[in-house]
């Protein structure tokens, strides 16, 4: 069988054969001529033969977690240079070429399946879908959102076991999925690192623990799901890829780097990389979640670790950079990787702003109400769907990271392959390279009248102050991209947010200037 090999850990092979006749089949896996695994299958009416085990109830163990990782990696697999973006999770899971669990139950169960998770719902929805397909239990908790001085706290776990009992209709999954997304939110993922009443627990930063499917939660509630490691080679920097979902339900793949993830020591949250807390069967036939102590010396799961609790932000980003590129990078390689990641981030914002324009083309003359205070980051309705305060704050962070790269060479020369060059010399060289490259890279956005406008990266960087007040969807696209009045670019602008909303934005501007998201 021709197979596609994916690197690890965990390592996997994926193969597909079509055109089978009804009957009983056996799939064998061999290594060095020795049989290491065998799975019997039944196709067509043969599935009525009860002597053939079609699907067995499974448990969460090392093999299942590896299978989950392989599924995630295949689900979002694409060449690294491809800008992978979807309007929601629906087209991803309905694509049988991506989703090898598509119609796994043989019930056409993926037809018309609505799946539109937002940021915090995405990892839970992926986990629940996988559990549904292969008869696993899932758990989730009701949590509060914490406070400025305390991380979110959660109640006892709700454990759903219907899938383990063969209750696998689409209706059963819809019911559980609806209950799940109505319960979890950003607070569910940024619980304190030492807390045991959590759905996820912290793990160490190592290549052996950060498998696809691992979740990254920042202190303010943004969530990434790791999907693939691309190893460093002689001619190409390494990459760690992840996906996230936005309030408008778009799902995007992106590079994990300092510009897309925020790590901060905070009394209001437990940020970092986390794994789902495993469920194990009890002697009475029930299921329970493993405690932190039980996860310290586990061989079946990523061990519980408070390592991230000891990191400063600088320590965290340095450690992550070494994992992604263990051999270090030539300064120009490092710069180009950061520039690529920034352009990718800007292009994702193009989609978000255009989604707002689509809304106003459908509802011309309407005004989206703007919430007050910290609620601008976290609310419901059209403001949540089409405003971009969180995304714009991350864009400002990414701009800072790229601008600061020359200085980072001097502060952390061990991260770079300097070949005898003095860090200060390399800094000057990269500053010159930066000044040239930002004029050579560009993005295009759609103006109010539907025409396209090109911005160089240099223009985007120069407009950084404008992005402190560019998240309001009631403003035209031109204004949201920092165009100035009385210019050709701005001439097509036909929509402005109310004066009282601009007044509130001016009041909140300090949050964006200082990259400081307020705690509700």
CA distance 143 to 186: 9
Residue 243, SS3 per DSSP:
strand
pLDDT score at 181: 93
Under 8 Å between Cβ of 399 and 464: yes
State how beta strands 442-446 and 452-456 pair.
Answer: antiparallel
**What pTM does this model have?**
0.88
CA distance 384 to 245: 12
Cα 313 from chain centroid (whole Å): 20
Q: How far is CA 74 from CA 80, 87, 226, in A?
A: 13, 19, 12
CA distance 6 to 14: 8
Under 8 Å between Cβ of 129 and 68: no
Under 8 Å between Cβ of 215 and 224: yes
CA distance 140 to 124: 8
CA dihedral 405, 409, 411, 415 (to 10 degrees): 110
Which residue ranges of the chain lie beneath pLDDT 70? 45-57, 379, 519-520
pLDDT score at 53: 42
Exposure of 502 in the CB half-sphere (CA atoms within 13 A): 9
pLDDT score at 234: 85
pLDDT, tens only, 98-132: 999 999 998 999 998 989 998 899 999 999 999 99
State how beta strands 34-43 and 23-31 pair.
Answer: antiparallel
Strand partners, 518: none
DSSP 341: H
Examine residue 247 and say whether the peptide bond preceding it is cis (omega within 30 degrees of 0): no
Exposure of 322 in the CB half-sphere (CA atoms within 13 A): 12
CA-based radius of gyration for the chain: 24
pLDDT score at 383: 93
Q: How far is CA 212 from CA 136, 192, 288, 334, 464, in A?
A: 19, 23, 24, 24, 33
pLDDT, tens only, 24-58: 999 888 889 999 988 888 877 655 544 444 444 47
Phi, psi of 72 (to 5 degrees): -60, -45
**Any long-range contacts for 424-431 (C-beta under 8 Å, 24+ apart)?**
426/331, 429/331, 429/332, 430/331, 430/332, 430/335, 430/405, 430/406, 431/406
Place of tokens 């990459």: 239
Place of tokens 């609505």: 114
The pair of three-digit structure tokens given for residue 319, joined into one six-digit string: 């450690």
> DSSP per residue over 396-461, as a string?
HHHHHHHHHHHHHHHH-GGGB--TT--HHHHHHHHHHHHHHHTTT-EEEEE-TTS-EEEEEHHHHH
């Amino acid at each position: 069988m021709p197979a596609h090999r994916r690197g690890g850990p965990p390592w996997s092979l994926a193969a597909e054969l079509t055109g089978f006749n009804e009957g009983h089949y056996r799939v064998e896996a061999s290594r060095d001529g020795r049989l290491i695994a065998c799975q019997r299958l039944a196709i067509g009416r043969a599935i009525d033969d009860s002597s053939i085990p079609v699907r067995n109830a499974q448990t969460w163990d090392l093999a299942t977690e590896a299978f989950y990782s392989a599924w995630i990696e295949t689900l979002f697999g694409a060449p690294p240079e491809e800008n992978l973006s979807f309007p929601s999770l629906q087209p991803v899971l309905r694509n049988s070429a991506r989703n090898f669990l598509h119609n796994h139950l043989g019930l056409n169960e993926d037809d018309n399946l609505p799946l539109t998770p937002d940021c915090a719902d995405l990892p839970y929805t992926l986990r629940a879908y996988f559990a549904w397909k292969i008869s696993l239990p899932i758990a989730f908790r009701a949590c509060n959102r914490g406070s400025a001085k305390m991380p979110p706290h959660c109640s006892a776990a709700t454990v759903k076991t219907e899938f383990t009992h063969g209750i696998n209709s689409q209706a059963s999954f819809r019911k559980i999925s609806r209950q799940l997304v109505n319960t979890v939110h950003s607070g569910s993922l940024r619980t304190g690192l030492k807390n045991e009443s959590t759905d996820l627990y912290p793990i160490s930063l190592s290549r052996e623990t950060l498998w696809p499917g691992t979740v990254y939660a920042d202190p303010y509630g943004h969530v990434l799901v790791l999907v693939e490691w691309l190893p460093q080679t002689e001619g190409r920097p390494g990459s760690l890829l992840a996906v996230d979902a936005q309030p408008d339900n778009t799902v995007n793949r992106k590079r994990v780097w300092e510009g897309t993830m925020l790590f901060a020591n905070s009394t209001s949250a437990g940020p970092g990389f986390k794994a789902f807390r495993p469920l194990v069967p009890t002697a009475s036939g029930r299921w329970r979640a493993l405690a932190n102590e039980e996860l310290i010396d586990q061989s079946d799961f990523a061990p519980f670790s408070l390592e991230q609790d000891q990191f400063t932000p600088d320590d965290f980003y340095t450690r992550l950079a070494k994992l992604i590129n263990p051999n270090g990078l030539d300064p120009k390689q490092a710069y180009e990787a950061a520039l690529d990641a920034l352009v990718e981030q800007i292009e994702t914002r193009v989609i978000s702003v255009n989604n707002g324009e689509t809304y106003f083309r459908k509802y011309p003359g309407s005004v989206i109400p703007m919430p007050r205070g910290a609620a601008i980051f976290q609310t419901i309705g059209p403001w949540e769907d089409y405003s971009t305060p969180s995304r714009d704050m991350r864009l400002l962070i990414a701009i800072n990271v790229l601008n600061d790269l020359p200085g980072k060479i001097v502060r952390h020369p061990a991260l770079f392959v300097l070949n005898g060059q003095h860090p200060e010399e390399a800094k000057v060289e990269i500053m010159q390279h930066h000044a040239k490259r930002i004029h050579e890279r560009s993005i295009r956005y759609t103006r109010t009248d539907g025409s396209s406008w090109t911005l160089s990266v240099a223009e985007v960087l120069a407009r950084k102050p404008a992005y402190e007040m560019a998240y309001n969807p009631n403003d035209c696209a031109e204004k949201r991209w920092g165009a100035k009045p009385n210019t050709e670019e701005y001439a097509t602008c036909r929509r402005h947010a109310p004066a009282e909303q601009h007044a509130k934005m001016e009041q909140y501007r300090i949050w964006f200037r200082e990259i400081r998201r307020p705690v509700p």
